[in-house]
């Protein structure tokens, strides 16, 4: 999809549990500075008024828009614009037709989607996926990637999938709910208990012998782990390594079915040096059968795209020239089945906004 130069304006929103960030895009670029408002999610009337006011302000500054497209937490019936029983926005209980309400107010199509889905869509169009394919081409590799798995590490663990330019939603608007995968280290928990801010804080508190209320912010924990500020560094490193191990297991399970490239975003992605090595190591772990034979857990070898040596090996692959029996022809064959794990190239919020914009234009064009 070529978004550059498209004259249509789309209003966007990145809705979180505590804040809503409003914006607008045209031609694949933001045309308004982001405006942040409190979510007021405990009170449905206040929350809805805040959403309408935020979009009204953006509408007036842009002199209208072709559509409204935004990320909202689930569970939800996204195609029909109905929000279900949210955990962090408790005012939404019993089902709230948010999309139809906004369509009545503004008279344009209103499209809702999951933040993990829209983040992945943005990175597939203008972030990690095109960057990696361009780097493969520059390296002379015949390999190209067409599938992108996106995951976000923050308040929770979210995910999305884009395959050959198409966003995968699922029959119940519940595709790529990776948070429901089993926790690698605690079999009775879902993976989000380990791949989240609360999971990092809990492991750090246990390792440092602290009350959970005394644990600093995730950014401070990362700085402690990186040695940039004083504190129990071993505990911080252990907390992020545990996140990496749980996330690596979840991604290996996902890649066994889907096979693609992986991009990581979210509020915890800034601590990548502390968790990416453990994450990739877990993805490359081995299985041992009853007879003692070992084999890789997936057919793909995982590479850390943020590590120069690992990135070089990923781009190089294992390209061979094979003779076609009985002819004078040869064919090129890359024998290395692989995936790469890299960080968001656009920033999580910008990628989500770009995904929302592109999704709206695709919807409009299809009709």
| Arithmetic mean of pLDDT, 232-255 | 97
Dihedral of CA atoms 195, 145, 120, 162 in degrees, nearest 10, equals -110
Q: What pLDDT was estimated at residue 44?
A: 94
pLDDT of residue 340: 98
Domain that holds residue 106: 9-113
- pLDDT score for 64: 96
Maximum pairwise Cα distance, the chain: 75
Percent of the chain exceeding pLDDT 90 equals 87
Same domain? For 144 and 281 the reply is: yes
- Asked if the structure places residue 122 within a domain, the reply is no
pLDDT more than 70, % of the chain:
100
Position 149 in a domain:
yes
Residues 147 and 92 in one domain: no
Q: Alpha carbon 260 to chain centroid distance?
A: 14
Alpha-carbon gap, residue 120 to 270, rounded angstroms = 18
- Give the number of domains in the chain: 2
Residue 350 in any domain: the answer is no
**Statement: residue 62 has pLDDT above 80:** yes
Residue 55 belongs to domain with CATH number? 3.30.420.40
Task: Report the pLDDT value the prediction gives residue 16, as an integer from 0 to 100.
Answer: 81
Work out the average pLDDT over 52-80. Answer: 95
| Domain identity same for 275 and 227 | yes
In a domain, 358, yes or no: no
pTM of the model: 0.94
DSSP H/E element including 69: strand 67-71
Same domain? For 171 and 251 the reply is yes
181, pLDDT greater than 90: yes
Residues 133 and 104 in one domain: no
**What would the mean pLDDT of 129-141 be, rounded to a whole number?**
97
Q: Are residues 185 and 294 in the same domain?
A: yes
Contact 61, 357 (CB under 8 A): no
Residues 325 and 225 in one domain: yes
H/E run at residue 102: helix 98-106
Amino acid 193: pLDDT: 96
Each residue of 293-346: pLDDT tens digit?
999 999 999 999 999 999 999 999 999 999 999 999 999 999 999 999 999 999
Per-residue pLDDT band for 201 (boundaries 50, 70, 90) equals very high
2 lies in a domain? no
Q: What does the block give as tokens for 249?
A: 């297991």
Q: Does 330 share its domain with 247? A: yes
For position 80, what pLDDT does the model report? 95
Per-residue pLDDT tens digits for 18-43: 889 999 999 999 999 999 999 988 89
Same domain, 134 and 84: no
Residue 352 belongs to some domain of the structure: no
In a domain, 226, yes or no: yes
Of 217 and 17, more confident: 217
Is there a single domain that holds both residue 186 and residue 218? yes
Same domain for 279 and 193?
yes
Per residue in 77-105, pLDDT (tens digit) is 999 999 998 877 888 988 999 999 999 99
Which pair of structure tokens corresponds to residue 64?
A: 């209208």
pLDDT of the residue at 88 = 75
Distance between start and end Cα atoms, the chain = 16
Instruction: Evaluate whether residue 365 is within a structural domain.
Output: no
The verdict on 161 and 284 lying in the same domain is yes
Q: How confident is the model at residue 359 (pLDDT cuts 50, 70, 90)?
A: very high
Q: What is the pLDDT of residue 241?
A: 98
| Domain endpoint, select from 84, 113, 142 | 113
Cβ(26)–Cβ(7) below 8 Å: yes
Identify the pLDDT of residue 19.
Answer: 87
């Amino acid at each position: 999809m070529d978004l550059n130069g498209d004259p249509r304006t789309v209003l966007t929103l990145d809705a979180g549990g505590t804040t809503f960030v409003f914006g607008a895009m045209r031609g694949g670029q933001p045309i308004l500075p982001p405006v942040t408002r409190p979510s007021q999610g405990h009170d449905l009337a206040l929350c809805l008024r805040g959403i309408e006011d935020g979009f009204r302000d953006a509408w007036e500054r842009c002199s209208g828009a072709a559509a409204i497209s935004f990320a909202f937490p689930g569970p939800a019936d996204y195609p029909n614009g109905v929000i279900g029983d949210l955990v962090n926005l408790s005012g939404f209980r019993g089902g709230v037709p948010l999309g139809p309400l906004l369509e009545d107010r503004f008279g344009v199509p209103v499209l809702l989607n999951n933040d993990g889905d829209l983040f992945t869509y943005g990175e597939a169009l203008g972030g990690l996926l095109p960057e990696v394919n361009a780097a493969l081409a520059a390296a002379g590799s015949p390999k190209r990637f067409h599938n992108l798995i996106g995951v976000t590490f923050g308040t929770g663990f979210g995910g999305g999938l884009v395959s050959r330019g198409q966003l995968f939603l699922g029959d119940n608007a519940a595709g790529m709910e990776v948070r429901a995968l089993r926790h690698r280290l605690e079999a009775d928990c879902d993976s989000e208990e380990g791949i989240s801010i609360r999971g990092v804080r809990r492991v750090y508190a246990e390792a440092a012998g602290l009350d959970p209320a005394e644990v600093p912010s995730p950014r401070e924990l990362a700085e402690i782990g990186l040695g940039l500020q004083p504190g129990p560094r071993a505990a911080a490193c252990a907390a992020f390594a545990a996140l990496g191990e749980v996330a690596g297991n979840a991604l290996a399970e996902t890649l066994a079915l889907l096979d693609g490239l992986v991009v990581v975003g979210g509020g915890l992605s800034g601590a990548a040096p502390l968790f990416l090595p453990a994450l990739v190591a877990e993805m490359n772990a081995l299985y041992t059968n009853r007879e003692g034979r070992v084999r890789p857990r997936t057919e793909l070898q995982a590479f850390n795209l943020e590590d120069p040596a690992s990135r070089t090996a990923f781009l190089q692959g294992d390209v061979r020239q094979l003779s076609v029996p009985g002819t004078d022809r040869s064919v090129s064959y890359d024998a290395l089945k692989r995936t790469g794990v890299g960080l968001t190239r656009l920033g999580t919020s910008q990628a989500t906004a770009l995904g929302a914009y592109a999704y709206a234009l695709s919807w409009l064009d299809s009709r």
